[in-house]
Structure 1
Amino acid sequence: MLLFAVSGAACAKDRAIDSPEAAGRTYATNYKDMVLATCIATAYQNNRSAATDAGSSVSALRDWTYYDLENSPDEIMSLVNRYLARDYHNPLVEPEVKGVKFDLLKCLDLYHSAELNAQVKRFVSKPNRTFRQERPPQR
């Protein structure tokens, strides 16, 4: 009987891993993740599968984020475009890989930036709340 209970718990744990965890993360974190995914979708728009995946992630994260939807999209794209316009160089890589733009590195720098933290403060009115706290599952 104990083996069955442990197996059942393991199955329940496995099911939780199969669904997005964003609903349990704070709105501030989801906003930052949404901006990162927007940056990646923009950077890789010529790579159809990468752009589609990142764009779909942006859409999903919007559902789990409580933020100023009216005013923030333009600010998000402005910030993304400023970071992607940066001209990063690595003299060790460039002779081996022609045309490398370091777009993912730019997106990561954006994710960790003071500018993005300022946007979170400006547009996310409940930064420490989560979707699950606001909308508990119906039983």
Structure 2
Amino acid sequence: MINTRLIPIALACLFASHAFADDHAIMQRGYSPAESFRNFTLSQCVANGFQQHADIQKDAQIAAGGYLEIGHYPIEAYEEAVTLSKQFLAREYRTMAGQSLTLMKCIDLYHSDELTALVEKYEYALAHPDQEHGSN
């Protein structure tokens, strides 16, 4: 049985593999595992938040796939990040004129305590691979 939760992540990896086939410059940036994970989460949020803009969505999916490809956390971390990004996108953010503030939601996610808690959870797991990590 196919785990449908992994389909968006798998698609992002597929796009990223093609995008990074010829140019490995991004791979050499030297992001820490935490930075790559935060960047993945931001990219996923943008991809999910801008579905009506195909070019933005595709670029964000490719970026997310690239960060997943160079990531160090288990797949569960990325699944939790996708869920968290959807929770932030469900929030009601509007300007005084009633315009949606989708990108602001994603930026707030990037700086959120919730994302920091996820990073800390999986950083601990990286530092202590012989110990089980539970949900916080």
TM value normalised by structure 2: 0.68
Distance 1:49 1:62 in 2: 20
Tell me which structure has the larger Cα radius of gyration: 1
Deviation at 1:39, TM superposition (A): 0.1
Unaligned runs of 5+ in 1: 1-17, 128-139
Distance 1:77 1:43 in 2: 12
Identity of aligned residues (%): 27
**1:25-65 deviation line (CA, Å, top 9, x unaligned):** 10000000000000000001121110100000011111221
**1:68-123 deviation line (CA, Å, top 9, x unaligned):** 11x223312221111111111321xx1xxxx6210000000000001001111123
Instruction: Choose the corresponding residue for 2:95, options 84, 90, 98.
Output: 90
| Coordinate RMSD, CA, aligned | 2.0
Unaligned runs of 5+ in 2: 1-23, 128-136
Equivalent residue number for residue 103 of structure 2:
104
Q: Assess if the C-alpha contact under 8 Å between 1:35 and 1:111 holds in 2.
A: yes
Size of the alignment, in residue pairs?
Answer: 103
TM value normalised by structure 1: 0.67
